[in-house]
Amino acid sequence: MIGKEIIRNKLYDEFIKPTNQKKDFIGIEIEIPIVNLNKEAVDFSIVHDVTDKFKKHYSDFKDDGIDYEGNVFSLKNPDTDDIVCYDCSYNNIEFAMGKEKDLFTINDRFCEYYSFVKESFEEFNHTLTGMGINPYRKYNLNKPIPSERYLMLYHHLKSFKNYSDIPLAFHKYPEYGMFSSASQVQLDVQKDDLIQTINVFSKLEPIKALLFSNSVLFEENNDLVCFRDYLWEYSTHGVNPHNIGMYDVDFKDIDELQAYLESLNIYCVMRDGAYINFPSMNLLDYFQKEYVRGEIYSNGEYHEIDIKPSINDIKYLRPFKFINLTFRGTVEFRSICTQPIKDSMCVAAFHLGLKDKLNELEEIIENDHSLYHNGYTAGELRKLLIHEDIPKIFNKRDLCKLSKEIVDLSSSGLKERGIGEELFLNPLYSRIKKHTNPGNEILSMIRKGINLEKIIRDYGNLNKVI
């Protein structure tokens, strides 16, 4: 048994202490669906061929992950820390860009990699597209990458049938990590700004739903334009709702934030290089046990194993909040769907421009009554605004005016950086003017009879910003 004070100190060292570093970088991760235009499953042999071709062309990239079948699923450039990999399955490619000081440097490298990979896939009538849910997912083989991490993750998500004593109606898509894609941003935030950053940005989630929603579950649900929220909330990641979604609390100080961290659940650890799954349980409860019974994967099968909790297991604590603290001393914003590829940098630009405008942003929210201060929490508002049809209690014109005021503030923050990054916000102004977002645009085009393959190609087109 490990005492609460030891746990609290370890959480501080892992999550809070790294924010004491004086740095100011940007990190971007963009997950992108792979689509077989033959309306068949993505051909994994083609995926592996494209990976080999990329590795030969970009010789600075080295093997960073090899699956149990000998296939490379991750390549890394040690000079830039750029990673090109497959996320959860070989149906989903990810470009994890190494940290930089400005968006233009990141955008240049992303555009180069993306163009090469997309053109390589198109030789085989496969392509990439900027959607938060793979539009041809029904054709795909939803099979995890045979690696330690992804087998563990899928095993955890499939275990929902084992939870019979919690008030949660699980959905039927434990494989959702293999067909859903996100655009994530990591920003360095100093410890003194940490609480305000989490509090204020949490309240922005409803606005982000209006601007960025782009995950439609084709042929099954045309109501939610950000179906990704539902997929996370009603999975085993949501056994403890504190592990996913919104905070919906205002933290007063670091102590309250640490108390929140103590409320999270843990569901896996590693021993001797192997992951061990066990039923999701509260972190403090886990450390009160002498032994925990879990399952370990070996020789194609899962076997039961008893493990003794160790304080170092905190590094396997994996919450998936909309706003996450990381071990790097960064704040990760992870609630936004993959965007149409030509708009990819608007996600990072939006957050970067607002990072140092917290007081002004807080004032906008405090003075607004078109959305806020109407009896709903930010979390409840997010749930309302990921629908295609916005509830009649809200005036769409007023919501667009509020959205523009916030995007204007982000633009102001970017202009003060003096680099010209504010141009990456142009897609957001277009969406505000049209009262739409990429998910709504997809549904509108389908209703007009526009072929889905054309939409796939349009959302995958890259018009590089110069």
Q: What is the CATH number of the domain that holds 116?
A: 3.30.590.20
> Does any domain span residue 357?
yes
How many Å apart are CA 110 and CA 97, to the nearest integer? 7
- Residues of the chain above pLDDT 70, percent: 99
Mean pLDDT of the 90-96 span: 98
Q: State how far Cα 136 lies from the chain centre.
A: 20
| Domain presence at residue 40 | yes
In a domain, 292, yes or no: no
The confidence band for 465, taking pLDDT boundaries of 50, 70 and 90, is: very low
- The total number of structural domains in the chain stands at 1
126 pLDDT tier (thresholds 50, 70, 90):
very high
> Is residue 22 situated within a structural domain?
yes
| Mean pLDDT within 122-132 | 98
112, part of any domain = yes
Position 150 in a domain: no
| pLDDT classification of 166: cutoffs 50, 70, 90 | confident
The reply to whether 307 falls in a domain is no
Does 353 fall in a domain? yes
How far the first Cα of the chain sits from its last, in Å, is: 57
Q: Is the pTM of this model over 0.95?
A: yes
- Distances in whole angstroms, Cα of residue 466 to Cα of each of 33, 109, 255: 25, 13, 45
Whole-angstrom Cα distance, residue 301 to residue 151? 11
Structural domain boundaries enclosing 348:
17-143+174-255+319-460
pLDDT category at 369 given cuts 50, 70, 90 is very high
Percent of the chain with pLDDT over 90: 96
- Mean pLDDT over all residues of the chain? 96
- pLDDT per position as a tens digit, 255-307: 999 999 999 999 999 999 999 999 999 999 999 999 999 999 988 889 999 99
pLDDT over threshold 80, residue 357: yes
| C-alpha–C-alpha distance, residues 377 and 383, integer Å | 10
